Amino acid sequence: MDEGDRAASLAGGRLTIDLDAVVANLRHVEAATAPARVAAVVKADAYGLGAGPVAAALAGAGCRDFFVADLAEALDLRPHVGGQASIHVLHGLWPGTEALALEAGVTPVLNSLAQVRAWAELARTEGRRLPAVLQLDSGMSRLGLSDDDVAALAAEPQGLEALDVNYVMSHLASADQPGEDVNAAQRASFERLAALLPARPRTLANSAAALGDPLTHGDLVRAGLALYGVAPGPGPAAGLRPVVSLSARVIQVRTLPAGTGVGYGLTYTTRGTERIATVGVGYADGWPRALSNRGAAWFGGVRLPIVGQVSMDSMMVDVSALAPDALGAGEAVELIGPHQSVADVAALAGTIPYEILTRLGRRYARRYVGGASAQGMRA
Ligand SMILES: *Cc1c(COP(=O)(O)O)cnc(C)c1O
């Protein structure tokens, strides 16, 4: 058996990531936002899906712009995207890491006057202009230059002369609610601040804005969630292809008489004779404990309710609706797939799809399908 089969035979859960679907979703966002360019946001290990294989597939499909959270992620990403791709670091640089960033050829998003000054100082030392993105805080109060910072920069334009500002950037607090007034207010504030600085290309939109509000497109959109096949914001995932499938394998099945308690705290009691399967995925695998007595697995189109508390490494599902011999030890039930999307799981668990994806655990047998050179990417 090959590595992938061996891993799948050993693990309690199987995670499949469809790289062709990631590329199809890139094309979908490109079509929705042309002539803007589409950058791929691959921070947090590509939302838990594996930044190496995901970014390599995107780079293979022509994507040249990537965003990560910090320099550590940028250094890890470089070998997967080639030397020509731009890697933008959303948090900017920790003081003292500027030379390392220069060596790695990454582009910091500069969020404060201190970050601007440190990068400009290195540029002067090097005797050449260094690439940068300038982030302006248009109203989210998370990252970026304030009104006063922008005024200070505008007052001393030589402060920016050492930099090649590729983009001015901002981020929307409520992009998933396109009708909200705060989006228009942030756009206006972004325009007002950007107008104080030398004219540069603009980047404002995340996935929700890219697919929901053409007024935000600017010159570059920054897509994360949509590439991973999840509709950003309300409405169906029209045109996006699911990327993730997750299954859990049956460890054992027991038949319990009415009135039997199940799982930690015995929070579930059988109502009649019930067949209960224990499957090998739990909250340590990122499966939400909030789905105790609430969520479900699926098998052959049949819904199998989760009964009792989700444990660390396992949980119980009621398989009474299946024929007695339909599901045996070692076989798999669907947790994420055609019957239950990432968004469904998130909604049931009272959280957002981002959190479900980024918490996908490390114990799964991971399989990448599709992608130009998927064979080389198993490790
Ligand atoms: C994470 C992030 C994105 C991508 O957001 P999605 O909703 O996943 O498309 C874009 N821009 C910034 C600044 C981000 O932090």
Q: How far apart are CA 212 and CA 321, in angstroms?
A: 41
Tell me: pLDDT of 209 over 90: yes
Q: Which amino acid is at 56?
A: A
Does ligand 1 have an atom closer than 6 angstroms to the CB of 222? yes
Tell me: pLDDT of 70 over 90: yes
Query: Is the bond into 236 cis (omega within 30 degrees of 0)?
Result: no
- The residue behind tokens 């100082």 is 121
Q: Which tokens is 178 given?
A: 């396109």
Q: Which tokens is 6 given?
A: 């061996």
Probe target for ligand 1 pocket from 41, 107, 183, with the most ligand atoms within 8 Å of CB: 41
Residue 355 lies in a domain: no
CATH number of the domain that residue 318 is part of: 2.40.37.10
Q: Please identify, by atom number, the ligand 1 atom nearest to the C-alpha of residue 41.
A: 4
Q: Please identify, by atom number, the ligand 1 atom nearest to the C-alpha of residue 232.
A: 7
Does ligand 1 have an atom closer than 6 angstroms to the CB of 171? yes
Q: How far apart are CA 78 and CA 359, in angstroms?
A: 23
Does ligand 1 have an atom closer than 6 angstroms to the CB of 209? no
> How close is the Cα of 180 to the center of ligand 1, in Å?
18
Shared domain check, 271 and 182: no
Does ligand 1 have an atom closer than 6 angstroms to the CB of 90? yes
Bridge-based pairing of strands 86-89 and 107-110 is: parallel
Shared domain check, 183 and 51: yes
Q: Which tokens is 260 given?
A: 């039997």
Shared domain check, 62 and 29: yes
Bridge-based pairing of strands 332-336 and 365-369 is: unpaired
Tell me: pLDDT of 376 over 50: no
Q: Select from 169, 194, 228 the last residue of a domain.
A: 228
CATH number of the domain that residue 131 is part of: 3.20.20.10
Residue 264 annotated in active site: yes
Shared domain check, 140 and 32: yes
Shared domain check, 132 and 54: yes
Shared domain check, 187 and 67: yes
Q: Select from 201, 228, 255 the last residue of a domain.
A: 228
Encode pLDDT of 32-62 as tens digits.
Answer: 999 999 999 999 999 999 999 999 999 999 9
Which of the residue ranges 66-75, 129-138, 157-166, 313-322 would you say has the lowest mean pLDDT? 157-166
Nearest to 206, CA basis, from 231, 242, 241: 231
Residue 143 lies in a domain: yes
Q: What is the pLDDT, as a whole number, of residue 378?
A: 39
Does ligand 1 have an atom closer than 6 angstroms to the CB of 223? yes
Number of domains in the chain: 2
Tell me: pLDDT of 159 over 70: yes
Nearest Cα residue to atom 3 of ligand 1: 206
Mean of pLDDT values over 210-217: 95
Residue 187 lies in a domain: yes
Between the alpha carbon of residue 9 and those of residues 83, 285, 332, the distances in Å are 37, 17, 11
Name, in order, each residue with C-beta under 8 angstroms of 261's C-beta and a sequence gap of 6 or more. 268, 269
Cβ atoms of residues 168 and 219 within 8 Å:
no
Q: How far apart are CA 111 and CA 122, in angstroms?
A: 16
Shared domain check, 271 and 197: no
Q: Which of 47, 167, 228, 264 is catalytic?
A: 264
What SS3 state is found at 83?
coil
Name, in order, each residue with C-beta under 8 angstroms of 38's C-beta and a sequence gap of 6 or more. 26, 29, 30, 63, 65, 210, 220, 221, 223
Shared domain check, 284 and 160: no
Please compute, for residue 159, the number of CA atoms within 13 A of its CA located in the half-sphere on the CB side: 18
Residue 354 lies in a domain: no
**Cα dihedral 97, 103, 107, 111 in deg (nearest 10):** 10
Shared domain check, 282 and 134: no
Q: Select from 228, 260, 275 the last residue of a domain.
A: 228
Does ligand 1 have an atom closer than 6 angstroms to the CB of 316? no
The secondary structure element, H or E, covering residue 188 is helix 181-195
Shared domain check, 320 and 249: yes
Tell me: pLDDT of 158 over 80: yes
Q: How far apart are CA 139 and CA 133, in angstroms?
A: 18
Shared domain check, 181 and 47: yes
Shared domain check, 192 and 52: yes
Q: How far apart are CA 105 and CA 44, in angstroms?
A: 20
Give residue 37's domain range: 19-228
Average predicted confidence (pLDDT) for the chain: 95
Residue 53 lies in a domain: yes
Residue 110 lies in a domain: yes
Backbone angles phi, psi at 305, to 5 degrees: -65, 140
Residue 282 lies in a domain: yes
Tell me: pLDDT of 101 over 60: yes
Residue 368 annotated in active site: no
Q: How far apart are CA 53 and CA 47, in angstroms?
A: 12
Residue 84 lies in a domain: yes
Does ligand 1 have an atom closer than 6 angstroms to the CB of 41? yes
Nearest to 33, CA basis, from 202, 166, 230, 181: 202
> How close is the Cα of 62 to the center of ligand 1, in Å?
20
Confidence grade of residue 372 (pLDDT, cut at 50, 70, 90)? low
